[in-house]
Amino acid sequence: MARITIDPITRIEGHLRIDCQVDGGKVTNAWSSGQMWRGIEKILEGRDPRDAWIYTQRICGVCTTVHAITSVRAVENALDMAVPVNAQFIRNMVIGAHGVHDHIVHFYHLGALDWVDIVSALEADPVAASNLAQSLSDWRYNSPQEMKAVQDKLKTFVSSGQLGIFANGYWGHPAMKLPPEVNLIAAAHYLQALDYQRIANKIVTVLGGKTPHVQNLAVGGVSNSINLDSQSVLNMERLMYVKTLIDQLEEFVTQAYLVDIAAVGAFYLDWAGHGKGVTNYLAAPDMPMDEMGTKFDMPGGYIPNGDIGQFEQITSFQDAMFRDSVKESSKHSWYENGSDPLHPFQGETNPKYTDWQEDGKYSWVKSPTYKDEPAQVGPLANVLTMFAAGDESTKKHLGFVIENAGAIAKTEIPLAALHSTLGRHAARAVRCAVMLDSLKRQWAALVENVATGDTETYRRPEFPKGEIQGFGFHEAPRGVLSHWAVIDNGKIKNYQCVVPSTWNAGPRNHKDQMGPYEASLVGNPVVDEARPLEVLRTVHSFDPCLACAIHMVDTESNEIVRVKAL
Amino acid sequence: MKRILVLGVGNVLLTDEGIGIHALELLQQHYRLPDDVEVIDGGTSGMDLLDQLADRDCVVLVDAVKTGDAPGTVVRLAGDALPAFFRSKISPHQLGLCDLLAMLQLRGEAPKELILHGMVPFSLETHLGLSAEAAARMPEFVERIADELRRLGAAPEPVTGERGFWTAAVA
């Protein structure tokens, strides 16, 4: 028996510590601990709710846009405001492009290194790699010359001794199973993905005014002026430019990303049997198509116990079921917990640090529940709820990945395989493709609506005297994000952000039920305790983002693994 | 003309962690910068900055640093001293600047010259705005960045500007 502590987990956002008990080569117990105190919401108290989005987009370096959009939605909800549809479409395109960007980066630049052995790619035969890649896809950058060029670049880089980005990989680990040629294809697409994530970012810049922090949002709409014939505002030329960017992204996502996830997945099908964890899935609907957010291009809802038949749809930005079902427990978190759990409108954030206590408090992350149960959020929850809602685009791309992986592995893959570590990666790719489909529809809807002569993008908010409260949600790249605002005489009185990684990385709750990271680790194989690659695979599959609080250059770069025999 | 990027990074919600952002805002209030100098508030971003960093002649990075020296200590690191500094001390972000620079290197787009101007923070509490101690040292810190631009041949022109957003938000 042994106890593994990984602190910090690298290639994620923020500071996460994972402890696992390992017995007979398998994880038998696990603890997830967020090592940073947030409490940034306190800064918002007393401020103008119209500015809240500017501050909330500073909470995290990855999710800037995500917090900004959710904040304006929360304030608009408190005001019961209708938002011009043009503003909805423009916002939708910004969040769609951001999501596509985020998923590409997660798979190729963060997650893939758990599965792809970069060093092994140096041994590959570039011609064989090219032949294999071309047999799987029409993607234009799969030529032998391309593969050879990538291999040469990698050789130069590795021999320079500056492994940098690749320094923390478990190269040569027995759990790495891809043939050298597949590793080389993945490495080639790793480099190409750098170009395509830039393209996604360009869409955010064109519409959002600036990146990394968008400037075009406002409570009541967006600050973009539309005039299809003017040179200085959002015009047809810029919209056509956005369309060409969307088309380029679609080519990469459908011909490279979806194919790669199927091919890599086919070699790791055993990972469809690990990492199941919490199977209550929660995802918010998104891409509102009307002023009040009652029609959505991407549906969402709640699935209890992994049973798609029990799917409950979340129907609007005003959904009372969602509003009333979210609570947060601090029983195992470093906060005071008088009455526990609490609804976010009553949420408290008063720190009470103990030490890391496995039966007591051990994390700065609170533990959220939906209908009093823990819930998994993220692309898998999103894809399952969209599938349950009968979304055509989801069925198409999910079918493609499952069929292609099955064809390569020469076996039939059931839908239930999605409840796993591998399933989370597959779902992220599927969601990325679905979002691109939606992005195209948002673009068309905007152009069509503007063509009718409607160029309204903003309505001025009016704040009443007295207290009002509102919530806003957004199906962000890592799952449902919600902001909860209490506003008194036009000033913020209480503000709580329930972030996706809180749902997934949370510790045990008020009923001592494990959070999704913890539950998903139980049963994971661990071949070599000193090099727990398998633990990282499952944790990374959630795309952890510990709501970044710290940026300063001050921590050691190396992942530190401590193993204690018990 | 050199393509120069002055990149401020940090989190303005954590007191002096936002030194880089505040310094850049002050720099732009005190000086009008030549056209070949681009100033970017990078916040706490990672990958989003890849495009901005690519193909620059020179990147002047402004950030809070932890060197083991007393709070308020200012440092200038350049050349060989910098990669070593980044290798042993990177941020806990999914992809820190160290990773971004490595990616750019792999693609042959790394900045030709990279210079870091940093200050050791006094406080990292959850709070909007600098500590009084760091704020008092800002004018001198900003002058060091202006001197750097002069050295690079991109002389900034003094102006009396308005208060920037983050300065106003604190007041």
Tens digits of residue pLDDT in A367-409: 999 999 999 999 999 999 999 999 999 999 999 999 999 999 9
Neighbours of A343 (CB within 10 A): 14
Does A127 have pLDDT greater than 80?
A: yes
Q: How far is A52 from chain B (nearest CA, A)?
A: 12
Tell whether B65 lies on the interface with A, counting CB pairs under 8 A: yes
Q: Determine the pLDDT at residue A564.
A: 64
**Angle at the Cα of B67 from the Cα atoms of B61 and B71, rounded to 5 degrees:** 95
User: How far is it, in rounded angstroms, from Cα A530 to Cα A509?
Assistant: 30
How many helices (H) and strands (E) are present in chain B, helices listed first?
A: 6, 8
User: What ipTM did this prediction achieve?
Assistant: 0.82
CB A166 within 8 A of CB A118: yes
User: How far is it, in rounded angstroms, from Cα A421 to Cα A426?
Assistant: 9
Does A87 have pLDDT greater than 80?
A: yes
Q: What six digits make up the tokens of A339?
A: 């009455």
A162 belongs to a structural domain: no
Q: Determine the pLDDT at residue B161.
A: 63
Q: Determine the pLDDT at residue A451.
A: 93
A143 belongs to a structural domain: no
A558 belongs to a structural domain: yes
Q: How many domains does chain A have?
A: 1
- Find the helix packing angle between A533-541 and A421-451, rounded to 10°: 20
Q: Return the percentage of chain A with pLDDT > 90, whole number.
A: 74
Q: How far is B127 from chain A (nearest CA, A)?
A: 6
> Which of these ranges, A64-73, A252-261, A282-291, B41-50, has the smallest mean pLDDT?
B41-50
A266 belongs to a structural domain: no
Instruction: Please identify every stretch of chain B with a pLDDT value under 70, giving residue numbers as ranges.
Output: 1, 83-96, 161-163, 170-171
CB A434 within 8 A of CB A475: no
User: How far is it, in rounded angstroms, from Cα B87 to Cα B90?
Assistant: 7
Query: What digits encode the pLDDT tens for the residues A161-191?
Result: 665 566 666 888 999 999 999 999 999 999 9
Placement of tokens 């047809």 in the chain: A236
Does A550 have pLDDT greater than 90?
A: no
> Which of these ranges, A88-97, A285-294, A333-342, A372-381, has the smallest mean pLDDT?
A333-342
What radius of gyration do chain B's Cα atoms show? 15
Q: Determine the pLDDT at residue B17.
A: 87
Q: Determine the pLDDT at residue B13.
A: 84
Q: How many CA atoms lie within 13 A of B34 on its CB side?
A: 15
Q: Is A429 strand, coil or helix?
A: helix
A3 belongs to a structural domain: yes
| Catalytic-labelled residue, pool A67, A98, A441, A537 | A67
Q: Return the percentage of chain A with pLDDT > 70, whole number.
A: 92
Q: Determine the pLDDT at residue A562.
A: 67
Please report the residues numbered 98 through 127 in chain B whose beta carbons come closer than 8 angstroms to any beta carbon of chain A: 98-99, 101-103, 105-107, 118, 121, 124, 126-127
Q: Is A521 strand, coil or helix?
A: helix
User: How far is it, in rounded angstroms, from Cα A366 to Cα A343?
Assistant: 12
A557 belongs to a structural domain: yes
Does A551 have pLDDT greater than 50?
A: no
- What does the mean pLDDT of chain A come to? 91
A&B contacts, CB < 8 Å? 151
Beta strands A296-298 and A286-288 are: antiparallel
Q: How far is B123 from chain A (nearest CA, A)?
A: 12
CATH of the domain at B121: 3.40.50.1450
CB A289 within 8 A of CB A445: yes
Q: Which domain holds residue B165?
A: 4-170
Q: What are phi and psi of A235, to 5 degrees?
A: -125, 180
CB A14 within 8 A of CB A499: no
Q: Which domain holds residue A543?
A: 1-36+522-566
Q: What are phi and psi of A481, to 5 degrees?
A: -115, 135
Split at pLDDT 50, 70, 90, the class of A37 is: low
Say whether A13 is catalytic: yes
Cα dihedral angle (A536, A542, A544, A547), rounded to 10 degrees? -160
Length of chain A: 566
Split at pLDDT 50, 70, 90, the class of A554 is: very low
Cβ contacts of B118 on chain A, cutoff 8 Å: 553
Split at pLDDT 50, 70, 90, the class of A557 is: very low
User: How far is it, in rounded angstroms, from Cα A382 to Cα A378?
Assistant: 6
Q: Which residue of B has its CA nearest to A109?
A: B95
What is the pTM assigned to this prediction?
Answer: 0.91
Say whether A60 is catalytic: yes
Q: How many domains does chain B have?
A: 1
Say whether A47 is catalytic: no
Q: Is A399 strand, coil or helix?
A: helix
Q: Determine the pLDDT at residue B94.
A: 47
